[in-house]
């Protein structure tokens, strides 16, 4: 119960990684407010969790009014404090510099960058008053390396990494820790929508030869939210099965030899 007495706001908590983090945090003792655009998905996440440990907040992280309301509801639910913010809401769809629609490009920034920025801006003053807190941003290995035809996704995830580092630099003296988790390929409804069912050949670029389950991303998030990570800030942590340590040329050789 290493998150006992912690109060957390988790975005993108209706499905995938966000839903898994929400459940793990409650298991570890936290009270949580889960935010997302689809109420029915949030209800699915909350189902089976103790009613006094979870509150649903339907809203869009790209909407400033929804962001302010989510933080206010978290403070109310948590007895006037917010210890942890997890920015997990995000979008991912294909496009290159020459093919992506401008409206889609702007949508990437609205959700993947502006949303976390606004939530951090609203949350940090309350953490300062309380003497500290933990912010965990969920980026991607796509913020560290390029993925084919994913210009909006990779650009905004890279921006989220730098936003995290900047906040760690600016608010470390306030005991506010800001860290970013970069998952590799995680088997979620969103990735299945984009890539379909994945065969073993799809994971030639991973030393572990498989994708991750959402639950495999939650342990590091629980650690970063806890007092065990009291001296961890500004960290960029990959949870990718080792994908980013493999050279692309080697992957090509492996594929050609099969």
Domain spans of the chain?
7-257
Q: Edge-to-edge strands of the sheet including 236-239?
A: 54-58, 31-36, 7-11, 84-87, 133-138, 176-183, 236-239
Question: According to the model, what pLDDT value does residue 94 have?
Answer: 93
Residue 192 has pLDDT above 70, yes or no: no
Q: Compute φ and ψ for 135, nearest 5 degrees.
A: -115, 130
Angle 12-63-129 from CA coordinates, rounded to 5°: 80
Confidence of residue 249 (pLDDT cuts 50, 70, 90): low
Q: How far apart are CA 54 and CA 61, in angstroms?
A: 19
Residue of 1 and 75 predicted with greater confidence:
75
Q: Which CATH number fits domain 7-257: 1.10.40.30, 3.60.21.10, 3.30.70.20, 3.40.50.720?
A: 3.40.50.720
* Residue 108 vs residues 96, 140, 143, 183, 209: alpha-carbon distances, Å: 13, 14, 13, 18, 30
- pLDDT above 90: percentage of residues in the chain: 82
Name the token pair of 128.
């300062």
pLDDT in tens, 77-107: 999 999 999 999 999 999 999 999 999 999 9
**Which residue numbers are catalytic?**
153
């Amino acid at each position: 119960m290493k998150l006992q007495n912690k109060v957390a706001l988790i975005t993108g908590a209706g499905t995938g990684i966000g839903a898994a983090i929400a459940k793990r945090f409650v298991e570890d003792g936290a009270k949580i407010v889960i935010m997302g655009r689809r109420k029915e998905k949030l209800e699915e996440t909350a189902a089976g969790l103790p009613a006094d440990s979870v509150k649903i907040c339907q809203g869009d992280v790209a909407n400033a009014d929804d962001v302010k309301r989510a933080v206010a509801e978290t403070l109310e639910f948590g007895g006037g404090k917010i210890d942890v913010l997890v920015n997990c809401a995000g979008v991912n769809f294909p496009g290159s510099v020459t093919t992506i629609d401008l409206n889609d490009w702007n949508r990437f920034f609205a959700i993947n960058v502006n949303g976390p920025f606004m939530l951090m801006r609203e949350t940090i003053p309350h953490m300062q008053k309380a003497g500290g807190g933990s912010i965990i941003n969920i980026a991607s290995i796509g913020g560290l390396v390029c993925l084919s035809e994913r210009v909006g996704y990779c650009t905004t995830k890279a921006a989220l990494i730098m936003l995290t580092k900047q906040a760690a630099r600016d608010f470390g003296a306030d005991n506010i820790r800001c860290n970013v988790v970069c998952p590799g390929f995680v088997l979620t409804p969103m990735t299945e929508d984009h890539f379909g069912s994945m065969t073993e050949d799809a994971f030639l670029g991973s030393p572990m030869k498989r994708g991750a389950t959402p639950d495999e991303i939650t342990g590091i998030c629980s650690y970063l939210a806890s007092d065990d990570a009291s001296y961890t800030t500004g960290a960029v942590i990959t949870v990718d099965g080792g994908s980013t340590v493999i050279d692309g040329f080697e992957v090509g050789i492996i594929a050609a030899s099969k």
